[in-house]
Structure formats: structure tokens, C-alpha cells
């Protein structure tokens, strides 16, 4: 699969050798500096930066579709409170077609007529689901979204407000959250996005396809890596180690001992998102007055690995997950919710990729071939004769 261009796409350009990432032609560092999550989501999905009117209309559609049907709360309440947030999220997303049957008919032509609304519902409600999951697990009442709040502020409100006291996000917090989500908006044919395309190619509707992507994202080598990084940094901290033991274990090549947040299936150079998020980490923690010992451990570990021949020769550099967890922790988001945050960020990429599949008049169902390495033909042996 790694040697195959699995599709034609106009969404994201990624040059792993040179550490280049562009959405619709725009470099990620320019988007990170000048754009925000909602605008970048529009760009990724529709192919152009929005005009002021398009930006306003898109924002309005997101605001109008943030609230979740009360019945859907019952789906969530059917889960044990200690269930995996990603399992809850994929279940809620896969239930969306039941609540929006007219937008999710499993017929490309019909579904594309309602695409704008379905896309807005997906982006906006995935965010609401994540806040609901957090509050359900903590035994807190759900907070309704507020239409007047911008996307990230609204999320922080749904996460952290109390019925008797509004949480008002500091501008730095909302800005940092925008950055984290924006940096995850799309990333070419990664495991979960390819899954969305694969499922979508069977004419499955947008919500069902995204829900499959959420399942793919849950694995520790993909969306779960940010949690694994935090566990690793925490263990180094608890053991009072300087990271030497983890680096040595990672170099041993034994299974389960990789240096988490390092290496990438495509980048053979710095992940450009890691550079941006690494710098933002310093800025955000400074502004919030947080002194997180895990940040200095991460920096030392990065420096040690970048000088080590094992990592140099294999072109292993920090990826986006190496620092994203530290920022999210500073924003008050607990570790078990990190991968769901990734899902909020990646929703535009899933939607844009599904749209390409659904609107391709020459599209066919995805059906890769394999290299068969099993037995050649054998004759059936009755059970009595088997030893
Ligand atoms: N620590 C130690 N060794 C590593 C690491 C690592 N993090 N990553 C790769 N290697 C080694 C491999 O074992 C291999 O060694 P070998 O040549 O001696 O056999 C060599 O480096 C080359 O590996 P790749 O082919 O580059 O790795 P692959 O494409 O199979 O895997 C992956 C990529 C899964 C991301 C891997 O680097 C990894 O497990 N990293 C840690 C988990 C992680 O951070 N994942 C997040 C990815 S980004 C994202 O999903 C948003």
C-alpha cells in the first residue's frame, strides 16, 4: 500500500523527504500563522479560502448545527462511564444517519445535494460529542452550545462551563486550541482518511464513512500516539530518568519500545507541524504561566534523539504528536480525550476526501489486490484422517 498512489486528490500535498505540507497549495506554516480552524476547514473542504460572505455563512451553519438531539444523549448514557472515548465517539457519529436520514441516503447523487449541511453537521457535532463524552465520564451535566460563541470558544464552554457559572476562555487558550485543530485538519492518505475513502467508495454516506475513520484513528500508532507520548514523558519524569533508558529501549528494536512521537510513515525529515507546535508549546505555557516538567523532558529527549545515530540514520524526527499532548494538557484537556481532539481536527480532511470520492463521476469501489503467500492447491482431508 505504501508504494501505491491509492487515489487522485487535490486536497493536500505532502513531500515527506523535504518536510513540506500544503493544503490546497497553501503552506501549513502560513495557515498556522494567519488562518484559524474554521477557515482552514473551509479551505480543505471546498478548495479555496472563503470570501467574507462564505466565511460568515459557513460559520453560521456550524453554529446552527452544534446542538445534539436529546435522544442521542441516551446512546451515550448506554456506555459505561469508563469506556474508551473513541468508542463512544465512533458510535455517536455512526448514529448520525439515523437522525439525518435525508442527508445520508447512501446514494452519492442525493447525498451530494445536501453536502454543505451534512459537512457542517459533522464538524460541529463531532465537537459537541467530544464535550459530551468528557462531561459524561466526569458525571457532569451536559452544557448546551451557545450560538454566539466562535467554534473553539464554544467547545471550551461545552467542556468547562457549569450550569451556574460560564467558562470564559482566555484568548490565548482559544488561539492555542485553534492551532492544534488546524494542524490536524488533513494529512493526505493517512490510515484513517484512507479508511474514510475506502468506506465511502462503497457509496456509504458521509457520517458512516467518518465513523469508520474515527475507528481507524483510535489505534496507538495513529491517533493514539499523543497519549502514548504523554505516558512515556510521565514515566521518564516519575523514574527521574533523563530519557536515556527510553532511547536505549527504542534502539533495541524490540516490539512495543518505540520512541513515541518520533518517526512517521511518510516524513523522512521534520514533520512541519511538529516544528510549529513545538514553538507554540513554549508560547502557550508561558502565557498561561504553566511550568510543565514534561515540556523540558520532551525537549531534552528530542535533542538527545536528534544527535543519536540510530535516529539520524533512519531519518526519525519528532512528529506532530510529540508536543500536541503538552499543549492540550495546558488547556485543561485530560489525556484520555486527546485522540478525540484529533478527531475534531481531522474532520475537515475526512469530509473533503469523502467529497472527492462521492463527486467523482468515474469513481469505482475501492478494491485493492493482495500478494497471496498461502498454500497452493490442496485436497480436502476428512476429519478422521487428520492428525
Ligand atoms: N522509535 C524507534 N524506532 C523507530 C521508530 C520509533 N518511534 N519509528 C520507526 N523506527 C524504526 C523502525 O523500527 C525501523 O527500524 P529498522 O529499519 O531497524 O527495521 C526504521 O525505524 C524505519 O521505520 P519506518 O519504516 O520509518 O516506520 P513505519 O513507517 O513502519 O512506521 C510509525 C511509522 C508507525 C509512525 C513509526 O515511526 C512509529 O511507530 N512511531 C511511534 C508512534 C508515533 O509517534 N505515531 C504517530 C505517527 S503521526 C500520526 O499518526 C499523526
Instruction: Tell me the three state secondary structure of residue 266.
Output: coil
d(CA 125, CA 135): 15
pTM for the complete prediction?
A: 0.94
Query: What is the phi-psi region of residue 289: left when phi exceeds 0, alpha when psi lies from -120 to 50, beta otherwise?
Result: left
Output the CA 175–ligand 1 centroid distance in Å.
31
Residue nearest to atom 3 of ligand 1 (CA): 258
d(CA 111, CA 234): 46
Active site residue 321: yes
d(CA 99, CA 224): 29
Q: What is the chain's percent helix, strand, coil content, to nearest 5?
A: 60, 5, 40
Output the CA 88–ligand 1 centroid distance in Å.
28
Best CA proximity match to 180, nearest among 147, 142, 219, 226: 226
Output the CA 265–ligand 1 centroid distance in Å.
7
From first to last of its 387 residues, what are the pLDDT tens digits of the chain?
Answer: 888 899 999 999 999 999 999 999 999 999 999 999 999 999 999 999 999 999 999 999 999 999 999 999 999 999 999 999 999 999 999 999 999 999 999 999 999 999 999 999 999 999 999 999 999 999 999 999 999 999 999 999 999 999 999 999 999 999 999 999 999 999 999 999 999 999 999 999 999 999 999 999 998 888 888 888 999 999 999 998 878 888 898 888 777 788 999 999 899 988 999 999 999 998 999 999 999 999 999 999 999 999 999 999 999 999 999 999 999 999 999 999 999 999 999 999 999 999 999 999 999 999 999 999 999 999 999 999 999
Query: What is the phi-psi region of residue 162: left when phi exceeds 0, alpha when psi lies from -120 to 50, beta otherwise?
Result: beta
Ligand 1 — pocket residues by CB below 6 A? 221-222, 225, 250, 253, 258-265, 314, 316, 319-321
Output the CA 314–ligand 1 centroid distance in Å.
9
Q: Which of 291, 321, 375, 379 is flagged as catalytic?
A: 321
Q: Which of 23, 184, 187, 264 is flagged as catalytic?
A: 264
d(CA 235, CA 244): 12
Residue nearest to atom 28 of ligand 1 (CA): 265
Active site residue 264: yes
Amino acid at each position: 500500500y505504501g508504494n501505491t498512489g491509492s487515489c487522485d486528490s487535490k486536497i493536500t500535498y505532502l513531500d515527506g523527504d523535504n518536510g513540506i505540507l500544503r493544503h490546497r497549495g497553501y503552506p501549513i506554516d502560513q495557515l498556522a500563522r494567519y488562518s484559524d480552524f474554521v477557515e482552514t476547514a473551509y479551505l480543505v473542504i471546498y478548495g479555496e479560502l472563503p470570501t467574507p460572505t462564505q466565511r460568515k455563512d459557513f460559520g453560521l451553519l456550524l453554529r446552527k448545527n452544534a446542538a445534539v438531539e436529546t435522544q442521542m444523549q441516551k446512546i451515550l448514557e448506554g456506555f459505561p462511564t469508563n469506556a474508551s472515548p473513541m468508542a463512544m465517539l465512533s458510535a455517536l457519529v455512526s448514529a448520525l444517519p439515523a437522525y439525518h436520514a435525508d442527508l445520508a441516503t447512501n446514494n452519492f447523487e442525493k447525498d451530494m445535494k445536501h453536502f454543505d449541511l451534512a459537512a457542517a453537521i459533522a464538524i460541529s457535532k463531532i465537537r459537541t460529542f467530544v464535550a459530551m463524552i468528557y462531561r459524561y465520564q466526569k458525571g457532569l451535566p451536559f452544557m448546551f452550545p451557545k450560538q454566539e460563541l466562535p467554534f473553539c470558544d464554544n467547545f471550551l464552554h461545552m467542556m468547562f462551563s457549569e450550569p451556574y457559572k460560564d467558562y470564559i476562555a482566555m484568548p490565548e487558550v482559544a488561539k492555542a486550541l485553534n492551532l492544534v485543530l488546524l494542524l490536524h485538519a488533513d494529512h493526505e492518505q493517512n490510515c484513517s482518511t484512507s479508511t474514510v475513502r475506502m468506506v465511502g467508495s462503497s457509496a456509504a454516506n458521509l457520517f458512516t464513512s467518518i465513523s469508520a475513520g474515527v475507528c481507524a484513528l483510535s489505534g496507538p500508532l495513529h491517533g493514539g500516539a499523543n497519549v502514548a507520548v504523554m505516558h512515556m514523558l510521565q514515566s521518564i519524569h516519575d523514574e527521574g530518568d533523563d530519557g536515556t533508558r527510553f532511547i536505549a529501549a527504542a534502539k533495541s528494536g524490540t516490539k512495543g519500545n518505540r520512541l513515541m512521537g518520533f518517526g512517521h510513515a511518510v516524513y523522512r525529515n521534520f514533520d512541519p507541524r511538529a516544528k510549529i507546535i513545538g514553538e507554540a508549546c513554549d508560547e502557550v505555557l508561558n502565557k498561561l504561566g504553566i511550568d510543565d516538567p514534561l515540556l523540558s523532558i520532551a525537549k531534552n529527549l528530542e535533542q538527545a534523539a536528534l544527535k543519536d545515530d540510530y535516529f539520524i540514520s533512519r531519518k526519525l524526527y519528532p512528529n506532530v504528536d510529540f508536543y500536541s499532548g503538552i499543549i492540550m494538557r495546558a488547556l485543561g484537556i485530560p489525556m484520555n480525550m486527546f485522540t478525540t481532539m484529533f478527531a475534531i481536527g481531522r474532520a475537515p480532511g475526512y469530509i473533503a476526501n469523502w467529497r472527492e470520492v462521492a463527486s467523482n463521476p468515474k469513481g469505482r469501489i475501492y478494491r485493492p489486490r493482495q500478494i497471496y503467500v498461502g498454500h497452493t492447491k490442496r485436497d480436502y482431508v476428512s476429519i478422521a484422517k487428520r492428525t
